[in-house]
Amino acid sequence: MFKINVVGNVHLFNTFLPLIKNGKSKKVVTISSGMSDGDVAAQYELFEGAPYSVSKAAMNMVNAKFQAEFKKDGIIFMGVCPGTVDTGANDNRKCSQDDSGVDLLTGASIIVAPEDMPKLMAMAGKFIKYAPHFQGPAQPVDAVRDILKVIENANMEVNGGHLVSHFGNKQWL
């Protein structure tokens, strides 16, 4: 995960920096996650998904470091969390046994390994405590619209070097 979420993006940034410096829209945006928010993880005891969360937190720091270096060039480096998006990733989830479960966020039937169900339930419970208003994942077209709006409205003072949600703030769900 670290190679994909961090190292790959650093190489991408370095490859395209000359074009970005000479471009009209000087914004570099990574897709991150509220799971990388240390305050939320500590407050809601959200220990699940550690490798993913750590790699996204590292990428957030990369954005901050690039921002510090290239602010003088007018380039905004930022991360955006799309929130929970119905990507279909769980549609064909399989396990060795034929035990059916329910996706706690979408209500859709999925197959979950019995040993994974308590972990899934515990994490869903933490999400509900964090965001009791949450109605389930967004459709991809809606998530993209929200992210593009955040990027369009991004400015150096508010967004430079920071991670924001699809709402443009720190509300992840």
C-alpha span between 119 and 96 (Å, rounded) = 17
Answer yes or no: are the C-beta atoms of 49 and 133 closer than 8 Å: no
Which residue among 26, 52, 126, 130 is the active-site one? 52
Task: Please give the C-alpha separations between residue 82 and each of 75, 88, 100, 124, 158, in angstroms, as whole numbers.
Answer: 22, 15, 28, 18, 18
Q: Which of 61, 36, 21, 31 is nearest to 150 (CA)?
A: 31
56 is catalytic: yes
The secondary structure of 13-75 as a DSSP string is HHHHHHHHHHSSS-EEEEE--GGG-HHHHHHTT--TTHHHHHHHHHHHHHHHHHHHHHGGGT-
The answer to whether residues 79 and 66 touch, using CB atoms and an 8 Å cutoff, is no
Neighbours of 17 (CB within 10 A): 16
Q: Is 110 helix (H, G, I), strand (E, B) or coil?
A: strand
Q: Of the listed 26, 27, 44, 56, which one is catalytic?
A: 56
User: Which sequence positions are flagged as catalytic?
Assistant: 52, 56
